Amino acid sequence: MSTEVEKTLVLEFGSEAGDEGLVADWDASRNVDAAGQPLETIGPGATRYFMAQHDETIEITRVAATIGEVIGESAGTIEAEDLLGFGGPDDAQSLTWWPADELGVTWYGNRGAGPNLDGRQLRFDGGHPCLALFSYLVHVKRWRLEIPKNVHVTAAEPVPFRIYIYYQEVSP
């Protein structure tokens, strides 16, 4: 059962966006030039890829951009990494995404003890302070944004735009 209120999450190029049950980011593995270098601007005729993930309390109702066309693509699985530090047992940190499987951990110094993962929130009961790189798989929905070739900006100017992800809260 969904609520009547539609909310939005706004994604800008070069940054990620998140809300309590929804995360969106640009697909760094697909937004590269022929040499494999990251694309840092968007100009006329460009195509850029982005993705989102949500928990069971969110239903994405539509996705749109202030310029260009947003085209849905298939769902996929990506690899994610987060470097997180924990100062004490009450020092919860958020993973960027909801893990699809177990976390791989590379410790740097002290090893945390007694992990507690609740959604994206992670904390450790002991071994503080500690720092680790967490690697994990993530299931995402993917889209592409196609900017028209007739946008009136110079080649040196990026095209200003926003992606709007509309969603509703639903009962799990």
pLDDT in tens, 70-87: 999 989 999 999 999 999
Give percent of the chain above pLDDT 90.
Answer: 65
CA distances for 22 relative to 37, 57, 146, angstroms: 28, 9, 23
Residue 151 has pLDDT above 80, yes or no: no
Q: Mean pLDDT of all residues in the chain?
A: 89
Q: Are 122 and 116 in contact (CB under 8 A)?
A: yes
124 with 148, same domain: the answer is no
This prediction has a pTM of 0.85
69 with 145, same domain: the answer is yes
113 with 132, same domain: the answer is yes
8 with 28, same domain: the answer is yes
The pLDDT tens digits of the residues spanning 30-64 come to 999 999 999 887 878 889 999 999 988 899 999 99
Instruction: Print the domain residue range for 65.
Output: 2-77+140-170
Residue 2 has pLDDT above 50, yes or no: no
Task: Output the CA torsion 13→62→93→96 (10° steps).
Answer: -50
The pLDDT tens digits of the residues spanning 8-26 come to 888 887 787 888 789 999 9
47 with 94, same domain: the answer is no
Cβ contacts of 111 within 8 Å, gap of 6 or more: 127, 130, 132
Number of domains in the chain: 2
Amino acid at position 44, single letter: P
97 with 161, same domain: the answer is no
